[in-house]
Amino acid sequence: VHLEGQLRDAIQNDGLTLHFQPVVGVDGAVLTAEALVRWPHPDRGLLPPDVFLPVAEQGDLMRELDRWVLRTALREASTWPAPDGRPVSVAVNLAGLVPGDPEFVDIVSNAIIESGVPWDRVVLELVETALVDLPSRVRQSMDELVQRGVQFAVDDFGTGYSSLARLKDLPAQIIKVDRRFVSGVGNDSSDFAVARAVVDMARAMGRKCVAEGVETATQFHVLRGVGVDAYQGWLFSRPVPPKEFRAVLALGP
Ligand code: G
Ligand code: G
Ligand code: NA
Ligand code: MN
ipTM metric: 0.95
Helix locations, the chain, DSSP H: 2-12, 49-58, 62-77, 104-115, 136-148, 179-182, 189-204, 217-226, 242-251
Cβ-proximal residues to 140 (8 Å cutoff; 6+ apart), any chain: none
User: In this structure, which residue's CA is closest to atom 14 in ligand 2?
Assistant: 213
For 166-203, give one letter per residue: b (16+ CB within 10 A) or e: ebeebbbebbbbbbebbbebbeeeebbebbbebbebbb
Q: Ligand 1 mean position to 153 CA, how many Å?
A: 14
> Which residues lie at CB < 5 A from ion ligand 4?
155-156, 212
Q: CA geometry: angle at 143 spanning 139 and 149, to 5°?
A: 150
**Contact in structure between 107 and 146 (CB atoms under 8 Å):** no
Closest approach atom of ligand 1 to CA 69:
19
User: In this structure, which residue's CA is closest to atom 12 in ligand 1?
Assistant: 93
Name every protein residue with a CB atom under 6 angstroms from any ligand 1 atom.
Answer: 35-37, 48-50, 53, 66, 69, 93-95, 239
Tell me what pLDDT residue 191 has: 85
Q: Ligand 2 mean position to 212 CA, how many Å?
A: 7
Please give the Cα distance from 223 to 209 (Å, whole number).
10
Q: Ligand 4 mean position to 93 CA, how many Å?
A: 9
What is the domain range of residue 194?
Answer: 2-251
pTM here is 0.96
Per-residue pLDDT of the chain (253 residues; tens, 9 = 90+): 599 999 999 999 999 999 999 999 999 999 999 999 999 999 999 999 999 999 999 999 999 999 999 999 999 999 998 877 788 999 999 999 999 999 999 999 999 999 999 999 999 999 988 988 889 999 999 999 999 999 999 998 888 766 777 888 889 999 999 998 899 898 888 888 888 998 998 999 999 999 999 999 999 999 999 999 999 999 999 999 999 999 989 877 6
Q: Ligand 4 mean position to 178 CA, how many Å?
A: 6
Give the E-state strand segments of 151-190 in sequence order. Answer: 151-157, 174-177
Q: Is residue 134 classed as helix, strand or coil in its secondary structure?
A: coil
Name every protein residue with a CB atom under 6 angstroms from any ligand 2 atom.
Answer: 21, 36, 93, 155-156, 179, 212-215, 233-234, 239
User: How far is residue 242 CA from its own chain's centroid?
Assistant: 16
CATH number of the domain encompassing residue 140 = 3.20.20.450
Q: Choose the residue to mutate in 19, 21, 176 for probing ligand 2, maximizing ligand atoms within 8 Å of C-beta.
A: 21
Total domains in the chain come to: 1
Burial of 230 (0-12, 13-18, 19+ CB in 10 A): buried
Q: Which residues pair with 23 in a beta bridge?
A: 32
